[in-house]
């Protein structure tokens, strides 16, 4: 029994470590989000990051800040809705909108992209991003066959 467990563990470790990593050129420009600034729907106030847009009141008065965000390392990919810090990659996966007489807007209710390595994440363009192992479209993992721009598959560093 111990031999089977050891064999299974070795096989699992090999599958994890043997995955081919492709180092793509980043098609995006990443901008650090400084205090009291908004980029692509992400707003920084002190050490808090807010996701969404509001009118009629400040976003920090309307919604809670995003959780698990490291504001010091937070940067936004200009022209996309992707953002990242040292811990996570972010994308507005689920957006909730509210409309009232004197205020309204939309906020990111779900935003952490799962299964991605933020240190390796590159924006490929047209909503696609990768960490060199997996492909993501608009923040969700998709098969590589879905990648429309096949010519970019050869654009390695």
**Count H helices, E strands: the chain?**
2, 12
- In-domain check, residue 11: no
d(CA 61, CA 95): 18
In total, the chain counts a number of residues equal to: 157
Instruction: Give pLDDT tens digits for 115-147.
Output: 999 999 999 999 999 999 999 999 999 998 877
Q: Which residues contact 104 (CB under 8 A, 6 or more apart)?
A: 54, 55, 56, 97, 98
- In-domain check, residue 12: no
Name the residue range of residue 78's domain.
21-154
Instruction: Give pLDDT tens digits for 76-109.
Output: 999 999 999 999 999 999 999 999 888 899 999 9
- In-domain check, residue 137: yes
pLDDT band at 110 (very low <50, low <70, confident <90, very high): very high
The neighbour count for residue 28, using CB atoms within 10 Å, is 18
- In-domain check, residue 3: no
Strand, coil or helix: 41: coil
Question: What's the predicted TM-score (pTM) here?
Answer: 0.82
């Amino acid at each position: 029994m111990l031999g089977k467990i050891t064999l299974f563990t070795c096989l699992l470790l090999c599958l994890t470590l043997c995955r081919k990593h492709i180092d793509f050129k980043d098609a995006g420009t990443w901008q650090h989000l400084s205090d009291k600034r908004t980029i692509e729907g992400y707003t920084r106030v002190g050490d808090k990051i807010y996701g969404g847009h509001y009118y009629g009141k400040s976003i920090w008065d309307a919604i809670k800040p995003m959780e698990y965000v490291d504001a010091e390392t937070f940067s936004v990919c200009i022209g996309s809705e992707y953002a990242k810090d040292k811990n996570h990659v972010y994308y507005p996966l689920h957006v909730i909108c509210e409309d009232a007489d004197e205020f309204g807007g939309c906020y990111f209710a779900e935003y952490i992209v799962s299964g991605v390595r933020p240190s390796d994440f590159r924006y490929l363009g047209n909503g696609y991003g990768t960490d060199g192992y997996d492909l993501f479209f608009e923040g969700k993992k998709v098969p590589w066959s879905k990648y429309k721009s096949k010519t970019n598959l050869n654009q390695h560093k």
